[in-house]
Amino acid sequence: MKTTLFKFLLICLLTGNTNLFSQIPINNKDDWDTIVVGGYPANSTEHFYLRDNIGSPADPVTLMYPGVFSGRIDGDGFKIYIEIDYYSTNVGLFSELTEAHISDLIIDGSIIGRRNSINVGSIAGLVSNTFLRSILNLADVTGEGASSSVGGIAGSINSSSTERCTNNGTITGGQYVAGIYGRVINMSDNSKYLNNAGTIQGNRTHLTENSCIAGIVAYYNTP
């Protein structure tokens, strides 16, 4: 077994295939923009880690990762300052997270999902089969869609596990609006220590008798 592993590692080194150990630093806003524009594929296993705060009120991150992200981000307690404003189904720092791992990250600034947006959140619009740990949202999150699911962490989340996620931002939306998740489908029992200290409010233009507004989760549906 040891001989086989050694041969495999030697082949990786000789061929330059080091993806097994790939750790890519994010040092500044330009690095983040390169990741977004580069369009890492949905099955990507890249491991990114922050080495400093990214963006600022004077120079915010404005590019949303547009597709499905399935890699790993270690924030190491650093902040990403964003001003995301998109006409898209899923809106957040990432449009959609699937089988991803995001930890120890602070998000500040603002996120706006315009009229056709369905899921709007700070870390992502839609989250599936993902692990989120120690995410702190300070950003204001707004979903303008009449049927939008808006959350301080994610708009909609499915079959995922979350720990120690907190919202301190102002969250505004139309249908399902909450400090952590607007809409939850089949959440893992491992989710714990979720906290909201922000203001949660409905968009008066779109409030109906079916609207749900809550501190942690607005709508929970187990299929």
87 has pLDDT over 50: yes
104 has pLDDT over 70: yes
Mean pLDDT of 75-102: 96
> Nearest-CA neighbor of 121 among 133, 113, 131, 109?
113
Judged on CB neighbours under 10 Å (0-12, 13-18, 19+), 97 is buried
Q: How many domains does the chain have?
A: 1
Residue 26 lies in a domain: yes
Q: Are 63 and 31 in contact (CB under 8 A)?
A: no
185 has pLDDT over 70: yes
176 has pLDDT over 90: yes
Q: Tokens for 83, please give them.
A: 């001003």
Residue 10 lies in a domain: no
Question: What pLDDT digit, counting tens, does each position of 149-173 carry?
Answer: 999 999 999 989 999 999 999 999 8
Q: Which residue has the higher pLDDT, 115 or 11?
A: 115
Q: How many other CB atoms sit within 10 Å of the CB of residue 158? A: 19
Q: Which residue has the higher pLDDT, 5 or 198?
A: 198
pLDDT at 3: 45
Say whether 144 sits in a helix, a strand or coil. Answer: coil
Rounded distance between C-alpha atoms, residue 1 and residue 87, angstroms: 52
CATH number of the domain where residue 182 is located? 2.160.20.110
Residue 4 lies in a domain: no
Residue 12 lies in a domain: no
Residue 14 lies in a domain: no
The secondary element (H helix, E strand) that includes residue 165 is strand 161-167
144 has pLDDT over 70: yes
Write out the residue range of the structural domain in which residue 103 sits: 22-221
Residue 3 lies in a domain: no
Model's pTM, two decimal places?
0.85
Judged on CB neighbours under 10 Å (0-12, 13-18, 19+), 10 is exposed
94 has pLDDT over 90: yes
12 has pLDDT over 60: no
Residue 1 lies in a domain: no
Rounded distance between C-alpha atoms, residue 167 and residue 181, angstroms: 10
With a CB cutoff of 8 Å and minimum separation 6, the contacts of 189 are: none
pLDDT band at 22 (very low <50, low <70, confident <90, very high): low
25 has pLDDT over 60: yes
Among positive and negative, which fits the CA dihedral 110, 211, 68, 188?
Answer: positive
